[in-house]
Amino acid sequence: MAYVPNFEYDIFISYSHVDNLTTPTESMGWIDTFEECLKVRLSQRVGDMRVVKIWRDPSLDGSQLFDTTIQNRINQSALFLAFTSTGYLSSDYCRQELEWFHQNATNNLGVSVGDRMRVLNVLLNNIPYQRWTQYFGKTSGYPFFASDNEEDPGYPIRCTGEAFEPQLRKLVDAIYKTLTAIKNVVAPAAPPRTVTKTIYLADTADSLVKHRERLRLELGNKVRIVSRIPPPYDAESHQEKVVEAMKTVDLSVHLLDVWPGREIEGEAGKSYPQKQVELGMQYAKSQFIWVPNTLELATIDDEGYKNFINKLQSGNRGEADYCFIKGAANSLSREVTEMLERKPAPGQNGKPSTSAAALVDTHWKDQLHAAHLGEFLREKSIKPLINPEEDDPKQNMKFLEERLKQVNKLIVIYGDVAEDWVQERLRVAMHLAIDARVDLKAFGVYFAPPRQRGPEGIFKLPWTTVHEFDNRDISNPQNLGPMLNAA
């Protein structure tokens, strides 16, 4: 199934084979390289390397009728990408493909959806619009050529050149918006249901009462709030009341700081806030645990409470599903709301399932290698996700954190990018995983050309191994057992 429901393919690529010829110094044709770049950028746009499906000929066996197979693929595609060149306009068969798509689109859904044409004109040569086919309508097209003047047809720009990337982004943006428009027509999204969420607002130290009350007011009518426990104050009755409440809520919220809070009656050395966190780990569906960004462990006098905070922040979570945030008080309401709106894929016992998924993190310089690595992971029944490219550093970190919550492996590509960039991505991912309570089982670095893996590991992280591998290991996947089988 494609990204757009009711279609087998999202994109049909129509091109003249003369535009994919290679010189003796080239390993891939222009169309081949373009398609790989397009796959990566679209994968980053939707956040998954398996979703958008593209078809391009000719992977047909000897028993398939060429015309019939091509026409069926065209009829099963949501978009038609025409790579317009002098060779394309000279090809009767390319014009035939356009006619097939136009005829089928006219009879089903339409040639355009809203203000978006389902035929996209990718210009490989400087061809005057008077020579364009009528099937391109009144669109302006997407130029991927360089020419000296208006009379010069020019040549396709280099896929790895500086001029290529901005044009590709414009095209990907148009494809994504058009696919989404079609998707909304063939399978409109159901209107959002009004669901009342319930949170347990745990007890706090006196120093945090004002933050707790402010949170209560800001959440307002968004949620139903269970709070004001204690009373009861005695240890046994308190525990019974807390467990009863936590079993009925969607999220338990705990605010902690340097002070442990009031000590429980009948349980020396344990405060109500600390006990409620511990009970939440056993009985709550999900937990949000917050400490101020000014908190330093060295400022906590109570040794037992200090160890408790340290374990929450950097220890092993076990089976508990909680988010540990060290942040500003004025963002509490937003962060709690985001936690409530999270919709992780269900796994065993309702926990998020990350057992067979890996995040492929790549710099734009190494985007071509991401598609190859994604194919390998799929062959090993591992769902590959890719981190979307985002110019805003804050958004980039937010997207990275959200992707890490969906996987249990991280693989950073090391090709044309600098070694320091890879090490920094590993370090940032590790800290995000700790802060967001993400249980990453394996870290990996894929050495892609022009890099060559040496005998010794060059990438290090505290407390965990970074698995380094290259094409030789992909050809012999038993070498990657410890990383691939980590669960």
pLDDT (average), residues 130-158: 90
**Which residues, other chains included, contact 353 with Cβ-Cβ below 8 Å and sequence gap of 6+?**
344, 345, 346, 347
pLDDT of 251 strictly over 50: yes
pLDDT at 419: 92
Query: Is the sign of the CA dihedral 229, 235, 236, 242 positive or negative?
Result: positive
pLDDT at 453: 84
Q: Please state, rounded to an integer, the average pLDDT across all residues of the chain.
A: 84
pLDDT grade, residue 378 (50/70/90)? confident
pLDDT (average), residues 460-485: 83
pLDDT in tens, 390-411: 556 666 777 777 788 888 899 9
More confident residue, 51 or 270: 270
More confident residue, 51 or 389: 51
**H or E, element range at 10:** strand 9-14
pLDDT at 191: 60
pLDDT at 345: 40
What tokens appear for 12 in the block? 């049909």
What tokens appear for 131 in the block? 């020579």
pLDDT in tens, 293-315: 888 888 999 999 999 988 887 65
pLDDT in tens, 52-89: 899 998 654 444 456 788 899 999 999 999 999 999 99
Closest to 197 measured CA to CA, from 324, 330, 321, 288: 288
pLDDT of 194 strictly over 70: no
Specify which residues 424 forms β-bridges with.
Answer: none
pLDDT at 481: 81
Residue 150: other Cβ atoms inside 10 A: 7
pLDDT of 349 strictly over 50: no
pLDDT at 13: 95
pLDDT of 155 strictly over 90: yes
pLDDT (average), residues 133-162: 89
List C-alpha distances in Å: 286 to 13, 76, 248, 342, 350.
45, 42, 11, 11, 10
pLDDT of 354 strictly over 70: no
Dihedral pair phi/psi, residue 84, rounded to 5°? -80, 125
pLDDT in tens, 107-121: 989 999 999 999 999
Closest to 270 measured CA to CA, from 317, 294, 234: 234
**H or E, element range at 32:** helix 30-46
Query: Rounded to whole angstroms, how far apart are CA atoms 463 and 287?
Result: 25
Query: Rounded to whole angstroms, how far apart are CA atoms 92 and 275?
Result: 76
pLDDT at 26: 85
- 442 three-class SS: strand
